[in-house]
Amino acid sequence: MYYFLEILSTSRDAAMIGVKISYLGKTFIPFLILLFALNYCSVKIPVWINMALAVFHAGIWALVLSCDHHSLFYTDVTYLGDAPFPHLESGHGLFYFIFMLFAVAYFFVAAFILFREYRKENKEDRKRQIIGILLVLVISVIGLALVVSGCTGGYDTTAVAYAIGSWMLILGIKRYDFLDTVEEAKRHAMNALNEGLIILNQYYQHMQPKKGRQIYLYLLKDITDSYYYEEQLEREVALQTKKAEERREKVEKMSLQIVRTLADTIDAKDEYTKEHSFHVAEYAVTLARELGYSQEAMNNLRHAALLHDIGKISIPDSILNKPGVQEGARYHHERYDGKGYPDHLSGTDIPEIARIICLADAYDAMNSKRVYRDRLPREKIREELVKGRGTQFDPDMTDVFVRLLDERKLEIKEIEDRQADMDGTGLVLQRVMTTMAQKDARERDVLTGLMLRYEGETAISQSIRKQEGCLCFLDVDNLKKINDTLGHLAGDHLLKEVGEVLRRYEKQAIVCRLGGDEFLMYLPGADREKAEEVIQGLIRTFENKKAGDASIKAASISAGIYLCEKGENYAQALTNADKALYHIKQNGKAGYSFYQKKDEQIGQTSDIDMARLIQSLQNSGNYQGALDVEYRMFTRLYEYVCNLGKRFEYKFHLALITLETQEEVTVDEQEQAMNCMEQAIRSAIRNTDICSRYSGVQFLVIFAYIGEENIKPVMGRILKKYSKLCQGRQLKVTYQVANMEVPEERRAEAEKENQARQAGEEQ
């Protein structure tokens, strides 16, 4: 219509009528094609955007209709009647370029959406439909490009391109069901009639075997049951997915409640560590956030930090199996330099989560009030953190943590209501466990019957503030050796016996168990003479008790003693007593030592140490075989003997002597037999041989510089002596001997080393 009016026009006004009519379609077709592509690909845009674009295009058409009165769309419209085909030439105003920009944008957006849909689609018929729609876009863009490039000599080809594209689009919608009208009809029918409906799936094929004849083939298939099943399955999957998500959230919330409850229970054991676990968790998460942790990783870290002191109470595996909890609880006392505990890990061998908790735990300990001191100043805390960089703490983490401290990002807002997000069950559990923990804190140590650490230290600290006294730091020697050789039941028995001895002094002293093999005794008002009298009596009582008990024969008690002044700091007093204990343990154990102040050490220490050294050397010359060597020292001596054999070609043998315990025997009978075997070995081996108790029923012996022919006579003497000494029940004895002669190749290596060493000495 547009081209017909323009070609047959004889004036500018007649040609302009054709232009204005053509823009009725040209203005809206690009926009309508975009809407079709969006609908086809199920892409929804807000209604207000649709309305705004529709108003915009209506405004463009209004500008075209009124172009004779302004230059916003066309400028300088000229009628060329003498051209081969009469037409108009005109300049373009601002809104013409805006309209063209929108049209190009529509085509590109539609093409992008269709191309993305094509890549996701798996059905071939659907892909063919998308290709058809893309072809419509290509034709429209070609018509537009020809006009813009000037290839048409001034004739507007966009109308032709739009007409062809629109015709193809209408044909595709009608013939190939671009809009899936059959599926839409099915869904509408299913929503309207849910019962008694038969759904038929239609397959259509058009064949033209001969010119002028057409055949239409329709195949109908009943898919009612499968359709209902798919609909029901989709609904059920959605429902179960929702329920599973709700259950997961509920379990996660309950798990967090339990973790918080356990953390509160741990903290309730000590009045001075209330909220400690919560503070450590907050500091740890703050550091982790600065280190770039994900939200999930920070959640796991928070749980681990809340339960880092979990060893104070018994906890089920379901809690300890949470990510990071075991690592945080076990390794947060490890040191970066490897001097921590329990496994002496160092550097990056320590789990990262434990390194973070270590920093947070240390900071809160310094930043909180304790029974033995007040909160440390910020400057002192910073100094201690920097001092521990690379030794106690991870250096990189320390740098970040110190920066957070300087920037005051470690401030924690006190909890207003952490129970707000806990349900009734969680609150009840929290109150019950907190009450139980507080009750447990007032009870005594189950194993020894003594006061627990918190109550004991609190009572001692209060007593020191009121009057002077004597603080004794007690340690049970060789508990680990007894645990390793006789088992932990024997170790527990030893601790019970020590506890029974210490309880006798509770009327005149404050006695508590610190933990493990360590105990504290405070004698209010006692001087040096009184303290020495008490400790001597205590050690004497224990020696008498173990004389008739073979299972604790190897144990002894060492004590470090410090004379406290009235009002003295408890923490410093404990440190001084610990130093005195260290002194006695370094000089032979099984005794006591007073802490010597600086002015008391002059002229005394060297004499005392030399006298003890001379006595130790004299006693050391009387033994037969290194029977007092623990297994770890035995392994070092074994390596030393191996090196001697390698260098000097010495022959030696390793013997494992075992007491068989297949029959029922008591612990006392077993230990009595082991004592007899120990004496038999001492009497039979030479001073150059080395022996160690390997287990509760085994000894290891290194026979140095001895031939294989001499092993049997030595073992015969040991067995004969054992039978003579063992008056009671004799256990069957077996032994195995391994020849540890140095191989020929190792001898050659030793010879080369000797030659190299001699050459170096000559130079």
pLDDT of residue 305: 81
pLDDT at 552 over 80: yes
The candidate with the shortest Cα–Cα distance to 476, out of 571, 585, 574, 341, is 585
Mean of per-residue pLDDT scores for the chain: 76
* DSSP summary character for residue 730: P
pLDDT of residue 397: 94
pLDDT of residue 747: 54
User: To which residue do tokens 């967090």 refer?
Assistant: 256
pLDDT tens profile 480-494 = 888 877 778 888 889
The whole-angstrom separation of Cα 110 and Cα 33 is 8
The whole-angstrom separation of Cα 558 and Cα 578 is 11
CA distances from 153 to 1, 18, 473, 757 (A): 20, 18, 108, 102
Beta bridge partners of 519: 474, 513
Residues 457, 511 contacting (CB under 8 angstroms): no
Question: What is the identity of the amino acid at 73?
Answer: F
The whole-angstrom separation of Cα 676 and Cα 716 is 15
Weakest-pLDDT range from 58-72, 171-185, 654-668: 171-185
Q: Which of 183-197, 249-263, 289-303, 422-436 has the highest mean pLDDT?
A: 289-303
The whole-angstrom separation of Cα 408 and Cα 388 is 20
Q: Are 249-433 and 446-607 the same fold in CATH?
A: no
pLDDT-derived band at 207 (thresholds 50, 70, 90) equals low
DSSP calls for 388-403: TBTTTB-HHHHHHHHH
Beta bridge partners of 91: 75
pLDDT of residue 369: 74
Tokens describing residue 454: 């918190």
Peptide bond into 30 cis (omega under 30): no
The whole-angstrom separation of Cα 147 and Cα 633 is 97
Q: Rounded to 5 degrees, what angle do the CA atoms 317, 319, 323 make? A: 105
Residues 320, 326 contacting (CB under 8 angstroms): yes
The candidate with the shortest Cα–Cα distance to 64, out of 34, 32, 88, 35, is 88
Mean pLDDT in residue range 205-224: 57
The candidate with the shortest Cα–Cα distance to 284, out of 336, 251, 334, 324, is 324
Question: What is the identity of the amino acid at 198?
Answer: I
pLDDT tens profile 569-585 = 888 899 889 988 888 87
pLDDT-derived band at 146 (thresholds 50, 70, 90) equals confident
Tokens describing residue 203: 């397959």
pLDDT at 400 over 90: yes
* DSSP summary character for residue 554: T
CA distances from 447 to 228, 473, 507, 510, 667 (A): 69, 19, 20, 18, 19
CA atoms within 13 A on the CB side of 422: 18
CB count within 10 Å of CB 317 equals 7
Please indicate whether residue 343 or residue 321 has the higher confidence score (pLDDT): 343
Residues 280, 364 contacting (CB under 8 angstroms): yes
* DSSP summary character for residue 273: G
Q: Which of 173-187, 463-477, 539-553 has the highest mean pLDDT?
A: 463-477
Which residues, at least 6 apart from 515, have a Cβ–Cβ distance to it below 8 Å?
A: 453
Q: Which of 105-119, 160-174, 511-525 has the highest mean pLDDT?
A: 511-525
pLDDT-derived band at 625 (thresholds 50, 70, 90) equals low
Q: Return the CATH fold of 249-433.
A: Hypothetical protein af1432 (1.10.3210)
Q: Distance from CA of residue 11 to its chain's centroid? A: 85
CA distances from 67 to 60, 77, 301, 307, 360 (A): 10, 9, 70, 79, 76
The proportion of the chain whose per-residue pLDDT surpasses 70, expressed as a percent, equals: 69
Please indicate whether residue 578 or residue 436 has the higher confidence score (pLDDT): 578
pLDDT tens profile 306-317 = 777 766 554 444
pLDDT-derived band at 601 (thresholds 50, 70, 90) equals very low
Weakest-pLDDT range from 243-247, 628-632, 642-646: 628-632
The candidate with the shortest Cα–Cα distance to 590, out of 598, 581, 578, is 581
* DSSP summary character for residue 505: T
pLDDT at 511 over 90: yes
pLDDT at 155 over 90: no
The whole-angstrom separation of Cα 639 and Cα 436 is 52
The whole-angstrom separation of Cα 300 and Cα 325 is 8
Residues 655, 735 contacting (CB under 8 angstroms): yes
pLDDT-derived band at 13 (thresholds 50, 70, 90) equals confident
pLDDT tens profile 50-95 = 899 889 988 988 888 888 888 888 888 777 766 666 667 777 888 8
Please indicate whether residue 165 or residue 107 has the higher confidence score (pLDDT): 107
User: Between 378-387 and 352-366, two packed helices, what is the crossing angle to 10 degrees?
Assistant: 150
The whole-angstrom separation of Cα 306 and Cα 276 is 9
Classify 202 in phi/psi space as left (phi over 0), alpha (psi -120 to 50) or beta.
beta
pLDDT of residue 472: 95
DSSP calls for 423-492: -HHHHHHHHHHHHHHHHHHHSB-TTT-SBPHHHHHHHHHHHHHHS-EEEEEEEEETHHHHHHHH-HHHHH
pLDDT at 220 over 80: no
The whole-angstrom separation of Cα 451 and Cα 170 is 93
CB count within 10 Å of CB 168 equals 15
Range list of β-strands (E), 384-437 = none
* DSSP summary character for residue 373: B
pLDDT of residue 698: 83
pLDDT of residue 198: 54
Question: What is the identity of the amino acid at 11?
Answer: S
What stretches of 66-180 show up as alpha helix (H) in DSSP? 94-120, 124-149, 158-176
- Find the farthest-apart pair of alpha carbons in the chain and give their distance in angstroms, rounded: 144
The whole-angstrom separation of Cα 487 and Cα 177 is 84
pTM given for the model: 0.36
pLDDT of residue 602: 35
Which residues, at least 6 apart from 508, have a Cβ–Cβ distance to it below 8 Å?
A: 523, 534
Mean pLDDT in residue range 346-374: 84
The candidate with the shortest Cα–Cα distance to 490, out of 585, 444, 554, 559, is 554
The whole-angstrom separation of Cα 127 and Cα 117 is 9
Beta bridge partners of 669: none
Tokens describing residue 30: 């690009």
The candidate with the shortest Cα–Cα distance to 279, out of 155, 356, 195, 365, is 365
pLDDT of residue 748: 61
Please indicate whether residue 498 or residue 585 has the higher confidence score (pLDDT): 498
The whole-angstrom separation of Cα 220 and Cα 205 is 12
Mean pLDDT in residue range 240-257: 74
**Domain map (residue ranges) of the chain:** 2-179, 249-433, 446-607, 631-749
Residues 88, 6 contacting (CB under 8 angstroms): yes
pLDDT tens profile 516-525 = 889 999 999 9
Mean pLDDT in residue range 194-204: 52
CB count within 10 Å of CB 493 equals 18
Please indicate whether residue 181 or residue 327 has the higher confidence score (pLDDT): 327
Q: What are phi and psi of 491, to 5 degrees?
A: -65, -40
pLDDT-derived band at 607 (thresholds 50, 70, 90) equals very low
Q: What is the dihedral of CA 745, 750, 754, 759, to 10 degrees?
A: 50
Tokens describing residue 345: 């890990």
pLDDT at 30 over 60: yes
pLDDT at 510 over 90: yes
| Domain at 446-607, CATH homologous superfamily | Reverse transcriptase/Diguanylate cyclase domain (3.30.70.270)
Range list of β-strands (E), 319-372 = none
Please indicate whether residue 76 or residue 266 has the higher confidence score (pLDDT): 76
The CATH architecture assigned to 631-749 reads 2-Layer Sandwich (3.30)
pLDDT of residue 158: 73
Mean pLDDT in residue range 639-666: 74
Residues 57, 98 contacting (CB under 8 angstroms): no
pLDDT-derived band at 587 (thresholds 50, 70, 90) equals low
pLDDT of residue 8: 62
pLDDT of residue 410: 86
CA distances from 346 to 351, 369, 620 (A): 10, 30, 37
DSSP calls for 612-661: HHHHHHHHHTT-SS-TT--HHHHHHHHHHHHHHHHHH---EEEEEEEE--
